[in-house]
Structure 1
Amino acid sequence: MNTMNPMIRRACLPNKNNKVFDFLMYSGFAIPPSVDLPFKQLSNDGKEINISRSKKMDSQFFKQQDVRSGNYIDFLLKMTSLRDKQQPNVFRGTPLYINKNSKVAFGGCLIGQAASAAVCSVPQGQLLHSFHNSFLNAGRQGCIDYRVETVRNGRIYCNRIVHAEQNGKTILNMQVSFKKDEAEPFQHQRTMPDCKKPEELLSIEKLIEKKLSEDLSEEQDMFKDLHITDPVVEFRPVDEETLYRLKPLPPKSLLWMRITEKQGEDENFHRCAVATMSDCNMLSTVILPKENGLKRFRLASLNHSMWFHNNVRADDWLLYETESSYAGGGVGFCTGRLWTQDGVLAASVSQEGVVRSLL
């Protein structure tokens, strides 16, 4: 085991001297706000109406954690080694916060932690190459233990299996492949979609503020719930209608995203962070053909796979291209591609999940 790996954390223990860790949350990313969010609406005569709602969450949870504001993913991916003679590769993830509206952990957080645990078990120079993940049970608030099995240590490739365990249950199994860099002249890739650059687009926060200024009648409550922004990850939809979902759309989406705070140079950290973000906006692509789909379906991830093709930085803009080729029988399937701004295909993704009608 590489005991000097930067993703290994010394301890997962509370520190009473830590400052309060406050976050605003983008719905679906499960990062909690602990302040009142102001929601403002313009009446038909142009006057501003205060429709403020309390979004206070359990800030006491963050008082116990050694976390800098705006850097939740860095905190999330730290691992505590629980090594002993019987189990040399067991790691404990940092405590998960569960938003009160969702009650269970965001799947991307589990993916990121499981991949990070696997990273802690391989030698330096081995890069996260691919993983195939199955969600078995819901993650709850608190720490999760990750037991890493060594399947193979090869000259170029290493293989691991990760079992995530919490409260006596296995909640996730992940097969992980690592690979050293190789120089190979033969290569090809698809062409990046031609679309607006992130500098030309509005953030989700600005788009929701824009919608809240309109007279939306019954849709107003839905947009109030969306007006919860995560300062850790910024999202900018290419087509704002894929965010609003007020009319049927083709099951495909383009979304720019990045971590807002600059990170270090560790390539495996960036790949684990991108893996965390890859669960955002993925399964919801399946229900774009249905008007107001977010209110009409229950969604839950079943499995998630990812392949890294090139080096990537989570703190640079990435274009997330997602599409769904099938939905039926209570499940939906979608695929995705992550592009750098200069058109390099950084990673490919696939996901299957529960898609059940509520009406």
Structure 2
Amino acid sequence: MPASETPETRKTPAELIEGLERLLSVEKLDTDLYRGLRNPGGQGRVFGGQVIAQALMSATGSVEPGRVVHSLHAYFMRPGDENLPIICRVERDFDGRSFSTRRVIAMQNGKPILNLAASFQIPEDGFSHQAEMPDVPQPEDLLSDAELIQRESAELPEAFVKAMTRPRPIEMRAVKPWSLLRPEQSEPVRQIWMRAVAPIAGDQVMHRAIMTYASDMALLSTSMQPHGVSWISPGMQSASLDHALWLHGDVRADEWMLYVTDSPWAGGGRGFNRGQIFSRDGRLIASTAQEGLIRQRRT
């Protein structure tokens, strides 16, 4: 194996998706007690989308089949450690004729790292309307995030470039590229195509979990754009504080989805962000909201 290669960099797209499905398929330890695996290739802090998705899968395991998640609200409390599994304890707050609600505490070393509340519903018909999907270039005409990083690779640390360009289970292609090294001040709006890099074998539960995982990507950085900074700017501290997701319909996470984000406010070291996720044929399949820490320490 060449020195620059690792088992992670040699994985095929299908292997990457199989690994993501394993990562999100929590293990039942006891009634309402689940264990989420650690990411074998992860280093440092656990990605927030992973914790949310594992907590959601734990909550899903406690509801009757046929009830699907339509909303979740999560608060991050402590950074997760990639060296440890995540234990999820589920509280069954309510089971009605149409809706069920659950609370989940995700823990490591006996301390909560995330609290999540989720609501499930038996699907039914009703009034219907939605926002219109914006007219943007198609993903085949855009560069991937990895290709954009390669453009600036001569000015970035080699280890950083390797980490950011290694094969990942979720591919993202920005309509308007955003430079990490030289971020220009711009309006707080982003449009990014995203999808799983290979077909997903799981059912709608897994598709929704993987979209939940991906919904934590590229959202917080929207609030940085008006200020001409990125998460690698000197002295920059950034972290998700909370995350909310509303699911409006069936999801195909292995097909292109357009993530449209905006940030109407920032202040007090925090940035507020909103998102809409459209299927390629224009259906609004999910909405998101997130507040995060965007603090730049002066040196």
Q: Structure 2 length normalisation: TM-score?
A: 0.89
| Match of residue 71, structure 1, among 15, 18, 31 | 18
Provide structure 1 residue ranges, at least 5 long, that are not aligned to the other structure.
1-21, 23-33, 38-55, 60-66
Calculate the aligned-residue CA RMSD, in Å.
2.4
- Do the aligned partners of residues 98 and 258 (structure 1) sit closer, same or farther apart at CA in structure 2, a change above 3 Å counting? same
Note if contact 1:98-1:105 (Cα within 8 Å) is conserved in structure 2.
no
Q: Structure 1 length normalisation: TM-score?
A: 0.75
Take 1:69 and 1:137, find their aligned partners in 2: how far apart are those partners? 27
Residue 262 of structure 1 and its aligned partner are, at CA, apart by 0.4
| Percent identity of equivalent pairs | 36
Q: Does 1:340 align with 2:279?
A: yes
Residue 156 of structure 1 and its aligned partner are, at CA, apart by 1.2
Equivalent position SS for 2:241: strand
Residue 207 of structure 1 and its aligned partner are, at CA, apart by 2.5
Residues 131-150 of structure 1: pairs in structure 2 closer than 5 A: 131-140=72-81, 141-150=83-92
Aligned to 1:306: 245
Deviations 1:23-74 (A, max 9, x none): xxxxxxxxxxx9726xxxxxxxxxxxxxxxxxx69x7xxxxxxx94443320
Take 1:239 and 1:95, find their aligned partners in 2: how far apart are those partners? 33
| Match of residue 27, structure 2, among 67, 80, 88 | 80
Deviations 1:189-241 (A, max 9, x none): 111111011112121222233344xxx7xx44498367423331111111113
Take 1:243 and 1:254, find their aligned partners in 2: how far apart are those partners? 16
Q: Which runs of 4+ in 1 moved over 6 A?
A: none
Deviations 1:306-359 (A, max 9, x none): 000111111111101111111111111100010000110000000011111122
Residue 96 of structure 1 and its aligned partner are, at CA, apart by 3.5
Larger Rg: 1
Aligned to 1:286: 223
| Match of residue 63, structure 2, among 98, 119, 122 | 122
| Match of residue 191, structure 1, among 127, 132, 149 | 132
Aligned to 1:89: 32
Note if contact 2:72-2:116 (Cα within 8 Å) is conserved in structure 1.
yes
Equivalent position SS for 1:241: coil
Instruction: Report the AA paired with residue 240 of structure 2.
Output: S
Aligned to 2:196: 259
Q: Does 1:164 align with 2:106?
A: yes
Provide structure 2 residue ranges, at least 5 long, that are not aligned to the other structure.
9-13
Aligned to 1:178: 120
Residue 289 of structure 1 and its aligned partner are, at CA, apart by 1.8
| Structure of higher RCO (CA pairs closer than 8 Å, 6+ residues apart) | 2
Aligned to 1:277: 214
- Do the aligned partners of residues 171 and 332 (structure 1) sit closer, same or farther apart at CA in structure 2, a change above 3 Å counting? same
